[in-house]
Structure 1
């Protein structure tokens, strides 16, 4: 099961072209995305209400989409506005529409009741298109695992020492650190400093080019928000230069933006990009960073996929929890609590005939 009353990243804006229909599965729902004549984005169930054919293999006609099985035509709200050869359209001839917002190059999709969609809950990722920051090319990986295993990975950075020794990690001392964990209304804030140590391999050459040849102070401070959004302030500065106290003028900074979006119970999408505040006009730096980050994320995908296969082979396996699991344990509990709340309210809505889902969002009001 998945949360419904939250915003999921469904893709990058460039993926939905002006005259095309774009299909993607989110939370077990096949959805078609398309743009009207003004360029505004819309999202509908990718299933014609007549015989169930995919709308994504239909065609766009002005501000409407036509199913290319029997010709039903649907407007932006999902209402059927034409049936070839029939003037009378059944009242139930419609497909579900979804609240969808484009912001900072990402497409945000609300899977619950559109009337409950609150755009103020969309996390701030403005660095992705802020002219004061440079950004790597947009990235996406597909995982053949449950999305919560990827969330787990992002909530415990001690794995950097062992999964990423030649990319993001470096010294095994990094795994000895204990992160500070704070509860947020819709997630967790995790703070991790690594002081007076050699830099991680993926930035060593960049730092050397800037004259930082010795040890550095490193920080990985991030918010991890429901249902799986990581926004991280990270960077490197000369050891002892005061970065921890706020003096970062001699260092380099990143604002990592990464999102895990469920596709099905056993697959998920992973979207990512790395804005930075240095060498903003250098395409070479952008490409070098993207190549290094992608290599590291492939390392993650390798170990998480192997983990998922092992778990699937023995469903009775019960993980042994330890102190390292504090953040991921809290986050899984938040998701479970929200799913339970939505299920209760959906059942109550069915009983009173309203059919409404999610009158209250515990994470929103906490």
Structure 2
């Protein structure tokens, strides 16, 4: 089950050109994304109204799509504008469209009631287009339910083990009890690891200072759009980072991760890991993206293996431990919203 009335990340801007089509399933529905000649994004249900052949198997003809099964043509608004062998078109041949907005390098699609599609509800991902930050847009596909991916993000204690040689590098992470808060839109966690003796493995070779480190992860999950926004960094120890004093040579990052359900068994993962220092060093930007990507591949391997065991386990209950507080809260908020929509 999914929250319907929400904006979901559907594509990166570079995935759509003025002459291609891109098929992607979201919340169990096949969609086809198009960029029109006037640079607008349109999202159609990926099925011809006639015999339900996928429109993504069709052909772009200007800003229209021709179904290559029986030849019907649909414009960017989903209206059937041509039908072979007759003047005009038959009734009930239009294709469903979905509200879509391109903002901060992401294409957002609204899967629920179109009348409720308020662009003001789109998550703030301004770091993607800000000249003060540098990042590389990335995508991954997980063969697992989206809630297992969210569980992973809401419990960073796994960094000490899954990512021992990549994103973690310290047992302090698992031993640190985070501050967990419920917000108006989701769950916020705050983690500080003070006086660490080494940089995390993914930063080694990029260090801007030497000596002990104060390290942080402050992150928020908006459960409406499954938007994970994280401020992270490493600063020289005892220079005031926990009080908001960021030293000039600190390494400050901001990550956005968008978890979009494909269906009950698969998940789209859009992400960036931006930095606000050494912006001219593209080697650093690309290197960070590759190292973070390697860490996320470790997550994917674990979560996909977990999904297989979950599928085999039926209704067997999972044990609850202390670090599950945040993920339990996140799941409760999602389930409450799903129930609210169902009752409405």
TM-score, normalised via structure 1 length: 0.91
Alignment check: 8 A CA contact 1:98 1:111 kept: yes
What's the counterpart of residue 165 of structure 1? 164
Q: Any idea what the Cα deviations from partners look like across 1:45-88, whole Å, max 9, x if unmatched?
A: 00000011111121222332221211211122212122122224
Alignment check: 8 A CA contact 2:191 2:218 kept: yes
What's the counterpart of residue 218 of structure 1? 215
Instruction: Please show how residues 302-313 of structure 1 align to structure 2 within 5 Å.
Output: 302-313=301-312
In structure 2, C-alpha distance between the alignment counterparts of 1:12 and 1:37, rounded to whole Å: 18
Tell me by how many angstroms 1:134 deviates.
Answer: 1.1
Aligned residues: 341
Residue 223 of structure 1 aligns to a residue whose secondary structure is strand
Q: Is 1:22 the equivalent of 2:22?
A: yes
What's the counterpart of residue 43 of structure 2? 43
What's the counterpart of residue 266 of structure 1? 265
Q: Is 1:286 the equivalent of 2:277?
A: no
Tell me by how many angstroms 1:322 deviates.
Answer: 2.1
Alignment check: 8 A CA contact 1:11 1:107 kept: yes
Q: CA RMSD in A?
A: 1.2
Alignment check: 8 A CA contact 1:30 1:45 kept: yes
What's the counterpart of residue 348 of structure 1? none
What's the counterpart of residue 71 of structure 1? 71
Instruction: Please show how residues 91-110 of structure 1 align to structure 2 within 5 Å.
Output: 91-110=91-110
Tell me by how many angstroms 1:323 deviates.
Answer: 2.1
What's the counterpart of residue 238 of structure 2? 240
More moved, 328-337 vs 147-156: 328-337
In structure 2, C-alpha distance between the alignment counterparts of 1:130 and 1:103, rounded to whole Å: 12
What's the counterpart of residue 318 of structure 1? 317
TM-score, normalised via structure 2 length: 0.96
Q: Which runs of 5+ in 1 are unaligned?
A: 346-366
Tell me by how many angstroms 1:129 deviates.
Answer: 1.4
Q: Which runs of 5+ in 2 are unaligned?
A: none
Alignment check: 8 A CA contact 1:21 1:57 kept: no
